[in-house]
Amino acid sequence: MKNYNMGSAQLLWTVTIPDGTISKLANTTASSECLLAAAHMCSPLEATSVSFTLEIIKELQDADQESKSPLPPLPTFHLSSYFPNSDLAVTHLSAVIGLTSSTPVDRLVELALMKMIPGETGLFQIQPAQSQLCLTIKVALISIKEESVTELHSLPASSLLRISTQLKLQGVELFDQKRPRDAFFKFGKALKYLILIDDKDNSRDPVLLRNKDELMTTLRNNLAGCHFSSSSNNWDAIISLCDKVLFRDVHNVKALYRRGCAFLEIQEYEKARSDFYQVKQLDPSNALIDSKLTSLHKKEVELNQKYSSAFRKMFA
């Protein structure tokens, strides 16, 4: 890791997104050729193929306390697929914006790339959300694949479906790795690509439309699964997503179970019971349902006792 003097660095801009905060520092450079051509060049868009280099300049636990010892390398590697080298040397990389990233740090790096032009080098400070980590990185955007620079709404329906399917598969892999937050981003982005298909003139193909609708149902179910597996307790979102799944597939056991659990948590006990009984009928061997029905009965008894106690106090 090189020792750069960062004492005089000034911030050009700061952007905060759900993944964290990224700031561009003033001591950035661009080649003279890059500056002359800037008016005729474009920054990478989502789904653009790029080539770049990346180097970690500074790694701290807390951005406000420079005296703290750097974190060991391992957490950084876990937080980003863009830092594969144990010596933290300059890394030459290629990526497809929005598709290669799989962690908050990855997505923040890609945000930096989307604000650069080929030939530009910049220093950026990254602070992932829900983390003490603060990284200062040096990024050089080497090139972009010009034919891949296309607005999403300009992509043909078949390309949108292909990319969405790819994102779904990536999300499933992340979910299997017990990373529901990162999987959620993949499924959500995949769903965004599918929604764009409806505006296409060539989206009337019945096979394409059927594949799109099936994939959209799967993605919504997977998004509900991410909420269900995280600690967000976003029960309303789970119910809304499962409603959409069940509108198209009334016998979807996963959606019924997740919606029933969400109803249970918000004390909609009759609706929870209805969903759980449907799961029991569709999947009699599901061992979780008996436990949920027992929990439902216990909660109903507790609630009735609470109401009875309140009424007695009112008329005592």
Candidate from 140-149, 195-204, 231-240 with smallest mean pLDDT: 195-204
Q: CA 279 to CA 27: how far, in whole Å? A: 60
* Between residues 24 and 146, the one the model is more confident about: 24
Mean pLDDT across the stretch 39-66? 75
What DSSP letter does each residue of 19-54 carry, written as one string?
TEEEEEES--EE-HHHHHHGGG-----TT-EEEEEE
b vs e for 164-192, b when ≥16 Cβ sit within 10 Å of the residue's Cβ?
bbebbebbbebbeeebbbbbbbbbebbbb
What are the residues whose beta carbons fall under 8 Å from the beta carbon of 213, sequence distance 6 or more?
248
Mean pLDDT across the stretch 228-242? 91
Instruction: Name the most confidently modeled range: 106-110, 123-127, 231-235, 239-243.
Output: 239-243
* Between residues 75 and 183, the one the model is more confident about: 183
pLDDT in tens, 258-290: 999 999 999 999 999 999 999 999 999 988 999
Residues of the chain with pLDDT > 90: what percent?
A: 52
| Predicted local distance difference test score (pLDDT) of residue 277 | 96
DSSP 178: T
Q: CA 205 to CA 202: how far, in whole Å? A: 7
Has residue 112 got a pLDDT over 80?
yes
| Predicted local distance difference test score (pLDDT) of residue 199 | 66
pLDDT in tens, 31-43: 555 555 554 567 8
Mean pLDDT across the stretch 113-121? 91
- Of 95, 5, 114, 111, which is closest to residue 53 (Cα–Cα)? 95
**Cβ atoms of residues 121 and 29 within 8 Å:** yes
- Given pLDDT bands bounded at 50, 70 and 90, which one contains residue 67? very low
SS3 assignment, position 208: helix
Q: Are strands 11-17 and 29-30 parallel, antiparallel or unpaired?
A: unpaired
- Given pLDDT bands bounded at 50, 70 and 90, which one contains residue 70? very low
DSSP 10: -
**Cβ atoms of residues 194 and 216 within 8 Å:** yes
pLDDT in tens, 176-217: 999 999 999 999 999 999 999 876 665 578 889 899 999 999
| Token reading at 154 | 């300009």
- Given pLDDT bands bounded at 50, 70 and 90, which one contains residue 219? very high
Query: Which pTM does this prediction carry?
Result: 0.83
Phi/psi for 146 (5° steps) reads -55, -40
SS3 assignment, position 279: helix
| Predicted local distance difference test score (pLDDT) of residue 34 | 55
| Predicted local distance difference test score (pLDDT) of residue 260 | 97
| Predicted local distance difference test score (pLDDT) of residue 36 | 52
Q: CA 42 to CA 141: how far, in whole Å? A: 12
Has residue 74 got a pLDDT over 50?
no
- Given pLDDT bands bounded at 50, 70 and 90, which one contains residue 78? low
For the chain, list the domains and their CATH numbers.
Answer: 11-148 (2.40.30.320), 152-311 (1.25.40.10)
